Structure 1
């Protein structure tokens, strides 16, 4: 893996990546931090890759202009909770409090991000447990456990022994999106695939799942902008 700089105003750093599995040249822009990666199949000369990159420069710069940067969580920052933006402010007492578009986070400033993350994870667990219980009761099948992670590749998963895993960042999005993901994973308790029968089961549990699924595809990466470390 190497790196080059595409000259211009501003210059653009591009990561060059070789892939034995790639069948064609591809250019990708990370929605998390705006990093640009040019992937080349093993036998494609680097010069051909650079020519491909230059041919895509107008497209590349246009998309980079629309990529939002990361948000460091701290005083004055704004983060979403169940789809509603809140401003972070210092608070008193021992618990995070939510009121009128504000999150009041007690304790020293350097601990605010960690404390708020803990509060969000607890809220996510409560909401996801409630939704999973509701849908599994409707399905007539129990799940074995529920775990939360901070995954970037998927919003949820279901194991063969009935374990449900969710990204805690679902609590940042709209409630209907969290509910859809819960219904999706609970449906896997009966269908461990994405067959037509599986999607019929999701619809029977949740209703029309297309809108929240589309939202996740188009906007889900934005939930990873918020940095709690």
Structure 2
């Protein structure tokens, strides 16, 4: 049943956002790794009826995937937030800035912890990623033009043809070697704008044994995306 031009309902209880793409060659369903939003992408000439039927045929799969996703977790005092792969208990403190200890993340009293911690994580991610990308780019012999941070949902990093790198600042919550892998991955795209064997060989040269860090991100990336910093 249609409920507005940009959304349909599947199985009677699953809201599905519709998107049309002139580049799409087939219909695809994607479930956001955090929040469970379902997006149905349709080629320009595909009918809504066919899209509905396609989504309905996968209703049970959608329910299972959404059920297996972690609940959204607000950032607040008293919760443990991962920082560089280590859970840190968020506590208010008489301090002017965020302070990190072996097991605590101390946040200035009287300030919204989510907003403050988000800004701090962005700064940490920028420092770590600039250092990693500088190192990998020097080894590859291909400089990058700029580095930006975003809160992306579908990718952890990207590289443009003109050498601009983009990363998710949530990588600051991942183990350092995982952040380093994403940096190496995107820097390798400076030489190979594809995922060809040559690209993966370049990534391996930059970061030997990168496959295990890539696997960690596949297994645990959705946990990083589940954190909510602004309530």
Q: TM-score, length-normalised on structure 2?
A: 0.80
Gaps of 5+ in 1: none
Q: Is the 8 A contact 1:123 1:171 kept in 2?
A: yes
User: Secondary structure of 2:143's partner?
Assistant: coil
Q: Is the 8 A contact 2:16 2:40 kept in 1?
A: yes
User: Secondary structure of 2:70's partner?
Assistant: coil
Question: Which residue number in structure 2 is paired with residue 194 of structure 1?
Answer: 195
Question: Which residue number in structure 2 is paired with residue 102 of structure 1?
Answer: 104
Deviations 1:170-207 (A, max 9, x none): 11112111111111122222223322222111111101
Question: Which residue number in structure 1 is paired with residue 3 of structure 2?
Answer: none
Q: Is the 8 A contact 2:42 2:51 kept in 1?
A: no
Q: How many residues align?
A: 221
Question: Which residue number in structure 2 is paired with residue 214 of structure 1?
Answer: 215
Question: Which residue number in structure 1 is paired with residue 9 of structure 2?
Answer: 4
C-alpha distance in structure 2 between counterparts of 1:117 and 1:44, whole Å: 40
**1:58 CA displacement:** 4.7
2:68 to 62, 66, 69: 66
Which structure has the greater CA radius of gyration? Answer: 1
| 1:80 maps onto 2:85 in alignment | no
C-alpha distance in structure 2 between counterparts of 1:96 and 1:136, whole Å: 31
Gaps of 5+ in 2: 1-5
Question: Which residue number in structure 1 is paired with residue 33 of structure 2?
Answer: 31
C-alpha distance in structure 1 between counterparts of 2:25 and 2:38, whole Å: 17
- Change in 2 beyond 3 A, CA 1:198/1:115: same
| 1:49 maps onto 2:53 in alignment | yes
C-alpha distance in structure 2 between counterparts of 1:127 and 1:48, whole Å: 44
